[in-house]
Copies of this chain bind each other. A is one copy, B any other.
C-alpha cells in the first residue's frame, strides 16, 4: 500500500458497495473485461478506496470467493449438528444449502462461470473445495444412516446421488426456465432417491 492510500478515511458502506459492484460486473462482463474504473464508478467511490480495501481487482475477487466459501462452510457446520434421522438430516442440509444459494444467486453464478468458463486471468481459488466439503458432510450423514440400519450400502454412491439432486436443483435456479424446481420439488426428488437407499 502506498502512502497516498494510507491517508484515505474509510467511507461508510463503501466496502460493501464495491463488493456488490464487482460481483455484478464480473457476472455481466466476465472477470477479465470488468475494469477497476467500472467497478469504482458503479460503487460510487474513487480508485484509491478500492485499493485501500482490496489492494486490486484480484483482491476484490478473492474476497468475494472467500466470503462465499465462508458462508457455505458455516452453513455446513451448522446443519450437521442437528439431531434427527439420517434422512431428515440430509433433507435439512440440502434445504439449507438450497435456500442459501437462492439468497446468494449472483455469487453462485460467478462460481459456475469461473468453474466452467475460460480462466480469464482470475486468481486461483480452489472451487473443488465446495464439492469435497459437500461430499464429506453428506457422506458422513449417509454413513450414519447405514450404521443405524436406516440406509443400505453403498454410502459413497448414496452421497453422490444426493449431491446430484442438490446441485441440479441449485443449477436450475441459474437457468432462464419459467418453471424451476423449487425447494419442495427438490425435497420430493430426494425422498424418491432415499426410498431407493432405504434398507
Residues of A bordering B, CB below 8 Å: 26-30, 32-33, 109, 112-113, 115-120, 128, 131, 154, 157-158, 160-161, 163-165, 167-169, 171, 174-177, 181, 185, 188-189, 191-198
- In the bound assembly, the distance between CA atoms of A194 and B192 in angstroms comes to 9
Minimum Cβ distance to chain B for residue A128 (Å): 6
Q: List 13 A-B contacts (CB under 8 A).
A: A30-B117, A30-B118, A32-B33, A112-B116, A115-B175, A116-B174, A128-B177, A164-B168, A164-B189, A168-B168, A192-B193, A195-B195, A196-B198
User: Is A163 in contact with B157, judged by CB distance below 8 angstroms?
Assistant: no
A192 to B151 alpha-carbon distance, docked (Å): 12
* Chain B residues whose C-beta falls within 8 Å of the C-beta of A164 in the assembled complex: 164-165, 167-169, 189
> A interface, by DSSP: helix, strand, loop or mixed?
helix
Contacts of A168 in B (CB 8 A): 160, 163-164, 167-168
Q: How many copies of the shown chain assemble into the complex? A: 2
Q: Which residue of B lies closest to A181 (CB)?
A: B160
Flag if A27 contacts B165 (CB, 8 Å): no
Distance of A163 Cα from B118 Cα, bound (Å): 26
A163 to B: closest C-beta gap in Å? 7
CB distance from A10 to the nearest CB of B (A): 30
Task: List the B side residues contacting A193 at CB < 8 Å.
Answer: 161, 192-193, 196
Residue of B33, B109, B158, B197 near A116 (CB, 8 A) is: B109
Among A117, A171, A191, which residue has the most Cβ atoms of chain B within 10 A? A117
Q: A157-B192, A193-B193 are in contact. List 6 more A-B contacts (CB 8 A).
A: A28-B119, A116-B116, A157-B188, A160-B185, A165-B165, A196-B198
Whether A118 pairs with B169 at a CB distance below 8 angstroms is no
Known: A116-B116, A168-B164. A157 touches B189 (CB 8 A): yes
Tell me whether B118 and A116 are in contact (CB under 8 A): no
